[in-house]
Structure 1
Amino acid sequence: MALLDMMAEVGLTGGIGVLRCGASLTDVFAALGPAEDLGGIDEPRHGSHRFCYGDVEFITCRCRLVSTMGISTWHDAPLELPAPGSNTVVAFPSHMTYQQITSALDAIECRWWLDTRVPDTQRTVLTEPSADSWASFTFSTTDGCDGPVLDDPRLYKVNAWDVSHECPAVPVSLPQDG
Structure 2
Amino acid sequence: MSFTNVLTALAATGGIGDFRPLASLEELAEKHGRPSDSGRGSSEHEWPYWLRYGDVRLEACECRIVHSLQLETWNDTVTIPADRFGEYVALEASTTFRHLESGLLVAGVSWTTITRRPDQFTLEVEAPHATVHFTFVTGGDDEESGKDDALLYGVTAQEFTHWCGQS
- Shorter-chain TM band: 0.7 to 0.9
Q: In the alignment, which residue of structure 1 is the partner of 2:93?
A: 94
Paired residue secondary structure (2:4)? helix
Q: CA deviation at 1:86?
A: 4.7
Contact kept, 8 Å, 1:17 with 1:85, in 2: the verdict is no
Contact kept, 8 Å, 1:126 with 1:134, in 2: the verdict is yes
- CA root-mean-square deviation: 2.1
Matched length: 161
TM-score, reference length from structure 2: 0.87
TM-score, reference length from structure 1: 0.82
CA change 1:65–1:8 in 2 (3 A) is same
Paired residue secondary structure (1:104)? helix
Contact kept, 8 Å, 2:37 with 2:53, in 1: the verdict is no
Q: In the alignment, which residue of structure 2 is the partner of 1:159?
A: 156
Q: In the alignment, which residue of structure 1 is the partner of 2:2?
A: 2
In structure 2, what is the Cα distance between the partners aligned to 1:74 and 1:103?
Answer: 20
CA change 1:108–1:86 in 2 (3 A) is farther
Paired residue secondary structure (2:113)? strand
In structure 1, what is the Cα distance between the partners aligned to 2:17 and 2:71?
Answer: 14
String of CA shifts for 1:58-102, please: whole Å, max 9, x gaps: 1111101110111111123x2111123553111111200001111
What does 1:126-137 align with in structure 2 at a 5 Å threshold? 126-130=124-128, 132-137=129-134
Moved over 6 A (4+): none
Paired residue secondary structure (1:10)? helix
Q: In the alignment, which residue of structure 1 is the partner of 2:71?
A: 71
In structure 1, what is the Cα distance between the partners aligned to 2:66 and 2:165?
Answer: 14
Any gaps of 5 or more consecutive residues in structure 2?
A: none
CA change 1:49–1:154 in 2 (3 A) is same
What does 1:136-151 align with in structure 2 at a 5 Å threshold? 136-142=133-139, 150=146
1:82 partner letter? P
In structure 1, what is the Cα distance between the partners aligned to 2:69 and 2:51?
Answer: 9
- The sequence identity of aligned pairs, in percent, is 30
Q: CA deviation at 1:168?
A: 7.3
Contact kept, 8 Å, 2:51 with 2:58, in 1: the verdict is yes
Paired residue secondary structure (1:7)? helix
